[in-house]
Chain A
Amino acid sequence: MMPSHFFYLLPEIWVGALALLILLLDLRWKGRGHTKLGLMAAIGLLPVLPLLCMQRQLDTLELLHGMYRIDSAALLFKGIFIITSLLVILMTREISKTPAAAQQAHGEFYLLILSATLGMMFVASAADFLMLFIALELITISFYVMTAYLKTDLRSLEAGIKYLILGSIASACFLYGVAFVYGSSGSIRFVEIRQFLQETPFSAGCLFGLFLILGGILFKTAGVPFQLWTPDVYEGAPTSVTAFLSVGSKSAGFLVALRVFHELFISSSADWAPVLVWVAGLTILYGNLGAIPQKNIKRLLGYSSIGHAGYLLIGLACPSSLGSTAMVFYLAGYLVTNLAVFLVVTVFSSHTGSDEIKNYAGLSKRSPLLAMVMFIALLSLAGVPPLAGFIGKFMLLLGALSQGHLTLAIIGAVAVVISLYYYLIVVKVMYVDRAEDSSPVPVSLPMRLALLFCLLGILGIGIWQEPFLSLSFAAVKGLF
């Protein structure tokens, strides 16, 4: 291996080594040092970010005999995954400090977060279907364990089993689709498949394979008709895992979608775009309507994450650089916003032990900081300016209309109103209702920093959009 190749693989090697180090230290400390391990994992991830910045370049770089590649989309998404997993590690550390969780907490949990992160990084750089599938499995298997981690909690076990069974089916579906694509095009390498499709505009085998792959992707990203697992798993899984599922796993799914649809199959977009338009519209409606009657904040966020998957699918349904730019931008905004919400949920539930929305009553008095972050983050999720979520939705609607999907744009616009309704109910509970228990909710220093980071992200992306927009544009430019 050439030294330059080693440099480009360094982030992955670093994360892998970090995971192994955590495993060894956990064995050595016999499972007692989990808060220390959490801090180590979080700090250990930090150097990866400047490393990724140093790798920035204009051209696509192929490594490992064309199995692996570094391009701007891969780098941007690796950055997204690292930030997500950093915040998720901090959340996990917060949860494991509560007395109830302390007995079950093990250092190996951080190992699982890191291995899932490593899988996501592989997904970002995979250049053939085999690598992609292995990377996806690495993510999924880590998540099987993590969702079922609270061994004494029945809901967590139920969530784990559900995710395991449905996830396996989705993986099989994905692999079956890959087999069809391979059968028709004779290759598993992205470059060759793309070339084959440009020469053969319509290939029934490839298209059939594509739709099977779509099934697998929709499972990962919680899109209709493979969304049913979402609310149950979100409710049952430990909160940090829910956050990781809703941001990390979803971004990975959309990255795969972007690669498969906008890079490989762009030449047959006329065949798949109409299907995606329907899927996007139905996903938006399902998620947003389903969220209305929810009483549990994690279930609510489960449904709302289905709704957001629908918005992201709008970007996918627009085979143009505007559509994919909007999608990447929306993901970046969604990342900081949704993680802000989950940080608040984590702090609140590890202090009070409850995820019921009605228990958030009087949060504005109990902790003005938490209430304010939650308020701003929920508004951003709903798409209120000048926050991150607004400009994402704005770009997506622009993308949909530029492709002539007026009905889809109107569904997207109306869903903003629906989502505002259920988010504002939470705001009402926090700000208007009186608390039964008015003791203050303390926020630890790492959580404060994390909340501040997300808040700055929400406002920064929302007000000074240009740098983030050009970053997303640069990321998708290589696809077409």
Chain B
Amino acid sequence: MSPVTAALLFPFAGAILLLAIPENRTDIVRRVAAIFTFFPLAIAVTLFFLYDHARGGYQWLQKIPWIPSIGVHFQVGLDGINMVLLLLHAICGFTGVLISYRIQERVKEYYIFYLLLIGGVSGVFVSLDLFFFYLFYEMAVIPMFPLIGIWGSGDKLYATMKLTLYLTAGAVLALVGLLLVYLISGIWSFDLIELQRYLSQNPIPAHIQTFLFPFLLVGFGVIAPMWPFHSWSPIGHAAAPSAVSMLHAGVLMKLGSYAILRIGIQLLPEGAYAWMPLVAGLCTMNIIYGGFVAMAQKDVKFIIGYSSSSHMGYVLLGLACLNPVSLNGAVMLMFAHGIMTSLAFATVGHIYDQTHTRVISEWGGLSKRVPFIASMFAIAALASSGLPGFGNFVAELLVFFGSWDVYRWPSLAAVFGIVITAFYMLRAVRTGFFGPMNPRWVHLEDAHTPFERLPYVILVAALVLVGCWPGPLLNMIGGSIETILDHLAPLRSVARL
């Protein structure tokens, strides 16, 4: 069995194992969940260093014929792009389990749904077959419903229904697009590698690609979240329990941009060329509009939620440029933003569980009581505003380098977006953690024990490591981006550059 399959199966095995554990043994339940998310992390880190750059391409491939009559194979494998995202997912998943120790109600059910969510998301990242890609994609959406509906806060029922329906609507639209690509290719195979090879030699006619691309763009764009389909996301982030917000903003939103890159751009390059200018325009709306809305928020989780949808605008801008520099930047930003936003949600969750309010003006001076958490939040805020030394800075810079010549005005708007981010994030740090101490919060507890601090340490370490030493990550991404662009190369000379 390929180690990738193992990493995929661990969370599901954990969920099944949890079914057998009695409900009142919460200590065992938590340990099982931690172990079954730690192994995928260990595998992801190991594979990251074992990846053979000289050989490139997909490695640790495993292919099992699943439904031969319609050409479905269970196929997994990693190249530079999904390797990075799997690593991000493994980090967020494991730290999420650690953060969840504060969940006290219906613990067993919580971890079962959580592990199913993790398994579904891993499946999307490692699958190299359109059928399984879609299968895991939809599987990742559904556990969110009970996770937010039962353990969430605020207007959770509205939020969870809106989220599920939006994401499913996007998914089924994308499914229609995937089926059309499958049928038009005419080789009766859902195997992504095979389809890619076939379509690069026998491309679908340009006008049909232009017709098909919106299905994938909008379908996967909903989860990305591309403006104007983003409205489910801040509400969902705000209502979800902390660990789910982390996964949700940190990893789930990346599924959309990953799918657009992996399937949309790779299989329908000409369609991508036709539609990407529109994406550049829409992602400007993401950045600017999302930023301004974040500015107006009073609830910290809403601030981070809108800032996430604003930052995903940079990722989409990177994808829209279709050149190596900005695509590298986009993938790296997916990683950096995932870690950063997980860190932010984790800290907010820590405080909210004690204060039961997230209205930033009601906090105030918290750094005196919770210096560790406060500094973690400040780090997240600085990383989010693009301070050098953190991964986000490198990634955003790359996106801008790539986009400057292609989309001048969207790039200018995007650079201005950083100022907006800095404004609301730093203001949140100031109002929430500095200034006069609100006497209501004198009983607030910091994260004291090493166990409580561990998830934060992992996240900050990852963030700083890729910020100061982006080489390995960029090498990893760059090799695979080149392969994608090789397919586009003949087109690019015709199209624009």
Contact = CB atoms under 8 A, between A and B. Distances in A.
Given A385-B134, A469-B69, A424 B139 contact: no
Interface string B55-67: 0000000000011
A427 B66 CA distance: 31
Contacts of A421: 161, 165
Contact of B183 (A394, A398, A431, A470): A398
Contact of A417 (B150, B172, B183): B172
Given A398-B179, A401-B183, A473-B69, A414 B149 contact: no
A169 interface: no
B146 A427 contact: yes
A228 B176 CA distance: 31
B157 interface: yes
Contacts of A136: none
Contact of A413 (B157, B164, B173): B173
Contacts of B69: 466, 469-470, 473
Contacts of A401: 176, 179-180, 183
Contacts of B146: 427, 431
B172 A431 contact: no
A349 B161 CA distance: 27
Interface string A389-405: 01000110110011000
Contacts of B135: 385-386, 390
Given A410-B176, A420-B164, A466 B149 contact: no
Max chain A C-beta neighbours (<10 A), residue from B68, B145, B182:
B145
A420 B169 CA distance: 10
A432 B149 CA distance: 7
A314 B67 CA distance: 22
A390 B67 CA distance: 14
A168 interface: no
Given A390-B138, A397-B175, A398-B183, A416 B168 contact: yes
Contacts of B176: 397, 401, 406, 409-410, 413
Place the interface of chain B in its size category: 20 to 34
A417 B142 CA distance: 12
Contacts of B109: 364
A431 B150 contact: yes
Contact of B139 (A384, A410, A416, A420): A384
B50 interface: no
A273 to B, nearest CB: 18
Contacts of B54: none
B296 interface: no
A420 B134 CA distance: 17
Contacts of A427: 145-146
Contacts of A416: 168, 172
B70 interface: yes
B172 A466 contact: no
A56 interface: no
A385 B141 CA distance: 10
Interface in B206-247: none
Highest count of chain A CB atoms <10 Å: which of B66, B142, B161, B182: B142
A428 interface: yes
A395 B149 CA distance: 31
Given A428-B157, A466-B66, A385 B168 contact: no
A424 B67 contact: no
Contacts of B136: 385
B179 A397 contact: yes
A466 B67 contact: yes
Nearest to A322: B70
Interface in A449-480: 465-466, 469-470, 473
Given A384-B138, A401-B183, A421-B161, A413 B175 contact: yes
Interface string B152-183: 00000100010011001100110110011011
A477 to B, nearest CB: 12
Given A398-B70, A410-B176, A470-B69, A420 B149 contact: no
Interface string B109-151: 1000000000000000000000100111011001001100110
A212 interface: no
A252 B394 CA distance: 64
Contact of A432 (B131, B138, B150): B150
Nearest to B174: A413
A431 B145 CA distance: 11
Contacts of A470: 69
Given A385-B138, A401-B180, A413 B161 contact: no
A399 to B, nearest CB: 10
A417 B145 CA distance: 14
A379 interface: yes
Contacts of A473: 69
A395 B179 CA distance: 10
Contacts of A386: 135, 139
A418 B24 CA distance: 37
A414 B68 contact: no
Interface string A172-199: 0000000000000000000000000000
Nearest to B19: A372
Contacts of B183: 398, 401-402
A384 B150 CA distance: 20
Given A424-B164, A465-B67, A473-B69, A417 B169 contact: yes
A401 B183 CA distance: 8
Given A385-B135, A397-B175, A397-B179, A379 B142 contact: yes
B67 A469 contact: yes
B97 to A, nearest CB: 21
A428 B172 contact: no
Interface string B373-407: 00000000000000000000000000000000000
Contacts of B172: 413-414, 416-417
Contacts of B139: 384-386
Contacts of A413: 172-173, 175-176
A424 B145 contact: yes
Interface of A: 364, 379, 384-386, 390, 394-395, 397-398, 401-402, 406, 409-410, 413-414, 416-417, 420-421, 424, 427-428, 431-432, 465-466, 469-470, 473
Interface of B: 66-70, 109, 131, 134-136, 138-139, 142, 145-146, 149-150, 157, 161, 164-165, 168-169, 172-173, 175-176, 179-180, 182-183
Q: 5 shortest A-B CB distances, which residue pairs? A: A413-B172, A385-B135, A417-B169, A417-B168, A385-B138
Given A386-B135, A409-B176, A428-B161, 6 more contacts: A379-B142, A384-B138, A390-B135, A401-B179, A406-B180, A427-B145
9 contacts: A385-B135, A385-B138, A410-B173, A427-B145, A431-B149, A432-B149, A465-B67, A469-B70, A473-B69
